Structure 1
């Protein structure tokens, strides 16, 4: 980059596309980086979002867009937690204040949102495989534009990333992988690969060793300078020996780095040199997660994904007081209590000890806790192995991430009928993270599996009893609960077994039977009270179990003749389908059934309560649907 380049653009308001970065000096880019950071902090303080990851890659983002020619060159952001600076400089600056709000821009890359978003992301470790596919397609088309996959060191711990590296190296594909190494995923990274990646060449020990070696060589009489010239020529090999370069070169990648990921001059130089290379290349950039905002730098785990906060102090803005502890908090407390009683209890998480509520359990019972990193498939089969030797593993995982380990659930847990418990957090709509994070499919994809028991609590007290019951059951169990505060019920101190497949009738009514499960039980009871005011006597049955179903549902349905099924899951193949199958198997063809659930589409991002209302899953929505249907104005049987 020339020292004579002008600084005609310095303000973010002047950046409408990456083309506006071209020709800026390093100084101008550095000033722009600071303004981007301020904008991200100000916006996320109001909307919530993935703050620390995006702050850590501002310079990296500017350097990529300065050197490469997006969208003709393809830039893929793994997971997408770190894409806010990318959004700001690719034509979405004026809408950035709508980040993660209903009708606003997504918190993740989204192809429908911008041509600069090469690939839809939201789950980790997909960028290398997707990038390899895109690079292969460009080669088929005779297109020589570059493909760049930006992946974090946390995402690099997942097996899928190494499958992509292996294939790219084998085919010698023209692919650039940028490793954003901040020694963090969501929680601190774990595992041997993470330790290997964290060998930073800026450490005092290495710098001192290198300086001592140089001084010694120069002191050699007569040959010192000649030997030093030879050392300088072979410095790349020397660096490679002491860095992760040898790992990536084993995959036949050209390794460049490590590079200070906050030095624009060095990043730009590296990318300028890299874009002319052919074949697979890996650029290793060292960054600081949360860079530029003190609280986020100090606690990047807490500020990875954060709600609204006060910028001056970093204090979260709580808004309305929480009516009760969250289901996640209750799960964590319950696991800690059960850990004292059940010596065989073993807890597993996939890089989410804080998110799943297992921090206290991990502190009290470190020998019976394992964070396996971003490796959901491994987590499930690891749990299966534990269970064969008498331990009782609980795999705590978000619904949307459990999807990644479906084959392992089938083949390694259900087929041998092993007693593994799946504690499935974030079941149902989760809000502002949107379609990649909503847990809408688990009731359907789990209930079809032989040997699997699936249950969902109506409140936080029932969650405790279900976890205890699951640990006593001699087979696979899934306990599914929402991302929400509990209902505020009294928590019973002791635990009790719930009979497998046994629900409970909460309210009697001869005109209509509402059969609800999990998070929809409480609003269904409230809806029944509204219906009573309209002269309709609605009974409410808490199914508890999606599988096996309580056969009394059929008896009650036959008595009243009208059944309304309510679930926070997709309707097709979900809980309502299970009720229809039960009635069909019992020969109750005359019973009229109406299902309320989530539609056959991916649900956008927005406040969870608003999304539920739009899908008819609020108290008023359930009551209105029931009233219209019962009065003969709704859809026909099976709707």
Structure 2
């Protein structure tokens, strides 16, 4: 049936049985496709009926659908003419998140959470001001994303308007992990209130026709009668803000979903529809999984859900082990996560020290400022977070942590090029941003040994912020230094009195070694080096490059605003006359592709770097 759906309009003529069959087919396609490519499986299995209902009730793109985070948009893609998932998240294939260049039905490409309500508020107000009162702006936000402060700022603003905003809360009780905090408790109270179950039982006995019961129930809500809502729970959380509340709705009962969305659409003002769904619905391995391994998967066996290839020992696991060991040694060390306990490696620490881990929900700004407070209270907080998400809290790092000399350690997972999740997930901005923060120190370890050492050095600093950044994926073999010059570590030397220095930051250190070998093979003396603590400018840098004609820096951050530029300025101020060549990520939004493809396209592979240096050496008057 799915092949017959080329646009949302094709859904209108389907009857109940056909829609049920279509939902089942969509789940089969999702499991089959995502198991081959990897991607966000659990979130999409949970929103099949909800997405069908959205496209049957609303008229996209006239009505604007905004998916918060966007990792649950695969079903939306299938229903809007994009059914070739063979290249999902690969270069040239479908993006893993909404993408405007793919379809007029996609609006928001940013895959950071808690933004959809602000987008919808702006779109709806724009419609009102332009006299387009025949359309709605619909925000689909999970209960996990609803923990973000930005979402509540938007709720406060929306409630003061009469704009046509429909807020669909997709409540599955989870983000990456179970949703936490007061909001979670309140929503859980609605889900589990026995009066709701009693009311449903009464309805089944009183109304032999299920459709008639649903019509009665939702008319009761929408006409402001308290009978149904009083039976379910006391409604204050949203209605006290001035929002009309509808729910809770069984998100896997398409008739019920459509009835609620239709009432919300026809209200012609701000409405919140509370929809209960089950993440991973219809796929037994996901339904039975308590660790939420199916939120995002690599290639898996569809029958079992097991990975096709076991994961190699990764950077996150190295941090997880060292965090646990340091926690055993120091009672003052506490962990902070923004709703990503397991993905950032804090799960083992939380299992042993449950009172020393704080999950703030998807609220990075709150996480950073509360870390400053923890430091003031005599503790040493460790905020483990994806590098791309710390962008959201730059002001707090600057003015709450650094200004107050707070001893806070930031462990930036997935720093640098991440690739297949697209432009908003690459952790390529952190060094360019953070190097401007007074007193802040940045470490870029190159292997497991230097990551462990850098973390211990970081938590020893109690009067300034420290940052340790490391990439996504498996960690390679250790790269020991052959000698040290101050804080600079020489990894390889070819010849005496090196004419060329190739300096690789963090995971690019191995690239520097390989590039140096290629340059040396052409007959030039060259040294490959790195530093673990890369900002401020490491001691020994000027001495190391003092006799060089060319210095090359390689980093997986911005080439024109990164630490290579900072190092070059320091050398020039010390009257170093070498020419500097900076290799890094271009200042642009990188479209989804594999890390290797982005590295090659950016000229960050060893061959491209060696070729660039050799070309300059051949042009120089003193070339040999």
**TM-score scaled by structure 2?**
0.91
1:5 aligned partner: none
In structure 2, what is the equivalent of residue 307 of structure 1? 298
Q: 1:201 to 1:239 in 2, by over 3 A?
A: farther
Residue 486 of structure 1 is matched in structure 2 by: 475
Spell out, residue by residue over 1:127-163, the C-alpha distance to the aligned partner (whole angstroms, 9 max, x if none). 0000000011111211121110000000001111010
Q: 1:188 to 1:38 in 2, by over 3 A?
A: same
Instruction: For 1:105 and 1:213, locate their aligned partners in 2 and report how far apart those are by CA, in whole Å.
Output: 44
Q: Distance in 2 between matches of 1:231 and 1:158?
A: 27
Q: 1:163 aligns with which of 153, 157, 160?
A: 153
Counterpart Cα distance in 2 of 1:544 and 1:631: 32
Q: How does 1:392-407 map to 2 (within 5 A)?
A: 392-407=380-395
Displacement, 1:211?
A: 6.8
* Residue 361 of structure 1: how far off its partner (Å): 0.5
The residue number in structure 2 matching 1:608 is 595
User: Number of paired residues?
Assistant: 598
Structure 1 residues 166, 241: CA separation in 2 closer, same or farther (over 3 Å shift)? farther
1:271 & 1:525 partners in 2: Cα distance? 59
1:60-209 map, 5 Å: 60-93=50-83, 95-144=84-133, 145-201=135-191, 204=194, 206-208=196-198
Equivalent residues in 2 for 1:451-490, closer than 5 Å:
451-474=439-462, 475-489=464-478
**Residue number in structure 1 paired with 2:493:** 508
Contact between 2:221 and 2:229, CA under 8 Å: does it hold in 1? no
Is contact 1:546–1:578 with CA below 8 Å preserved after alignment?
A: no
Q: Which residue of 1 aligns with 2:609?
A: 622
Residues 330 and 390 (structure 1), Cα distance of their counterparts in 2 relative to 1, 3 Å cut: same
Q: Which residue of 2 aligns with 1:295?
A: 285
How far does residue 244 in structure 1 lie from its aligned partner after superposition?
Answer: 7.4
Where in structure 2 are the equivalents of 1:26-425 lying within 5 Å?
Answer: 26-93=16-83, 95-144=84-133, 145-201=135-191, 204=194, 206-208=196-198, 236-239=226-229, 242-243=232-233, 245-299=235-289, 301-318=292-309, 322=312, 325-425=313-413
SS at match of 1:123: coil
State the alpha-carbon separation in 2 of the partners of residues 446 and 166 from structure 1.
32
d(CA) in 2 for partners of 1:448 and 1:46?
43
Query: What corresponds to 2:212 in structure 1?
Result: none
Deviates more, 1:68-77 or 1:197-206: 197-206
Which deviates more, 435-444 or 575-584?
Answer: 575-584
Q: Find the residue that maps to 1:620 and give its secondary structure.
A: helix
CA distance in structure 2 between the aligned counterparts of 1:553 and 1:518, rounded to whole angstroms: 16
Q: Distance in 1 between matches of 2:560 and 2:439?
A: 22
Change (3 A) 1:508 1:298: same
Q: Match for 2:529 among 513, 516, 541?
A: 541
Deviations 1:218-277 (A, max 9, x none): xxxxxxxxxxxx999986455257447421111111101111001111111222222111
Rounded Cα–Cα distance in structure 2 between residues aligned with 1:627 and 1:490: 25
1:12 maps to 2:2: yes
- The answer to whether the 8 Å contact 2:65/2:139 transfers is yes
- Do the aligned partners of 2:195 and 2:233 also contact (CA within 8 Å) in 1? no
In the other structure, the counterpart of 2:208 is none
Q: CA 1:504–1:288 in structure 2 vs 1: closer, same or farther (change >3 Å)?
A: same
What SS does the aligned partner of 1:507 have?
Answer: strand
SS state at 2:528 partner: strand
Q: Does structure 2 retain, via aligned residues, the 8 Å contact 1:501–1:547?
A: no
| Equivalent residues of 1:48, 1:305 under 8 A apart | yes
Distance (Å, rounded) in 2 between the aligned partners of 1:87 and 1:383: 39
SS of 2:611's partner is: helix
Query: What's the counterpart of residue 580 of structure 1?
Result: 568
